[in-house]
Amino acid sequence: AQSVTQLGSHVSVSEGALVLLRCNYSSSVPPYLFWYVQYPNQGLQLLLKYTTGATLVKGINGFEAEFKKSETSFHLTKPSAHMSDAAEYFCAVSGNAGGTSYGKLTFGQGTILTVHP
Amino acid sequence: ETGVTQTPRHLVMGMTNKKSLKCEQHLGHNAMYWYKQSAKKPLELMFVYNFKEQTENNSVPSRFSPECPNSSHLFLHLHTLQPEDSALYLCASSQEAGGNSPLHFGNGTRLTVT
């Protein structure tokens, strides 16, 4: 069984400020972790993913996330927000069970990021 | 064309109509998915196809009927829908139906049932 909790359905930052979007997960097997972004009237786009190896992963558009097993967290950060970062962000987890999870991604409820000038 | 293409982008249908959603992927992937995205709810996985074979039906009502004629095309046939079925329906594909293959999503079909 697996689940994802995104803390805060809405986050608002000023342009140039740090972006921090929180994600905690639970999984009965080692997890694969993902962050997706959804712009208005579009589908979801992969930002970054963690599978194995280095726990700090870098993605597109200057975002990065760190897998912390002890905290069961995978928070998304960006040092300096840009107006174009305004979107909805989804954290997702699937199970590392020898590739037999059949893409059963479990998504969080999403966090809407607003960037103020 | 590249990526995952969904048509139509918007669809309004009555409860007695029959319509179909179409999805096509140009990525050479072997797995395709239907997701439902409703307001204030997490994305709901509906169906998974791996090499044209259905491997997952997430307790979806029979008024939704998927079809996967080949690895590049996926359809969702709709009939006798209810107003609560109004949502954004997203198609996705991945290289394989495995846990670490990222999904590539289409832009979705916004369905309104009147």
* Chain B CB contacts of A104 below 8 Å: 45, 48, 56, 99
C-alpha span between A42 and A38 (Å, rounded): 6
* Chain B CB contacts of A43 below 8 Å: 4, 6, 90, 92, 105-108
Beta-carbon contacts of A6 under 8 Å, excluding residues fewer than 6 positions away, are A21, A22, A23, A89, A90, A91, A108, A109, A110, A111
**Over 60: is that where the pLDDT of A103 sits?**
no
Q: For chain B, what percent of residues have pLDDT higher than 70?
A: 96
Say what the pLDDT of residue A106 is.
87
Band of residue B99 on the pLDDT scale cut at 50, 70, 90: low
The A-side interface with B (CB below 8 A) comprises 4, 32, 34, 36, 41-46, 49, 51, 90, 94-97, 99-110
**Over 60: is that where the pLDDT of A112 sits?**
yes
* Chain B CB contacts of A44 below 8 Å: 43, 90, 92, 103, 105
Minimal C-alpha gap between A72 and chain B (Å): 18
The 10s digit of each residue's pLDDT in B17-27 is 899 999 999 99
Q: Calculate mean pLDDT across residues A1-7.
A: 88
Q: Is B25 buried (19+), middle (13-18) or exposed (0-12) by CB count in 10 A?
A: buried
Band of residue A99 on the pLDDT scale cut at 50, 70, 90: very low
Q: Closest by alpha carbon to A73, among A20, A12, A115?
A: A20
C-alpha span between B36 and A77 (Å, rounded): 27
Neighbours of A92 (CB within 10 A): 26
**Mutation target among A41, A44, A100 for the B interface, most CBs of B within 10 A:** A44
Say what the pLDDT of residue A69 is.
92
Say what the pLDDT of residue A14 is.
97
Q: Do B106 and A43 touch (CB under 8 A)?
A: yes
In this complex, is the C-beta atom of B45 within 8 Å of any C-beta atom belonging to chain A? yes
Q: Calculate mean pLDDT across residues A9-25.
A: 97
Band of residue B101 on the pLDDT scale cut at 50, 70, 90: confident
In this complex, is the C-beta atom of B43 within 8 Å of any C-beta atom belonging to chain A? yes
Q: Do B103 and A103 touch (CB under 8 A)?
A: yes
Band of residue B33 on the pLDDT scale cut at 50, 70, 90: very high
Give me the total of CB pairs closer than 8 Å, taking one residue from chain A and one from chain B: 75
C-alpha span between A5 and A73 (Å, rounded): 9
SS3 B60: coil
C-alpha span between B92 and B33 (Å, rounded): 5
* Chain B CB contacts of A49 below 8 Å: 100, 102
Strands B10-13 and B109-113 turn out to be: parallel
Say what the pLDDT of residue A96 is.
58
Mean pLDDT of chain A: 90
**Over 90: is that where the pLDDT of A101 sits?**
no
C-alpha span between B62 and B77 (Å, rounded): 10
- Whether residue B20 contacts residue B41, with contact meaning beta carbons closer than 8 Å, is answered with no
Say what the pLDDT of residue A97 is.
54
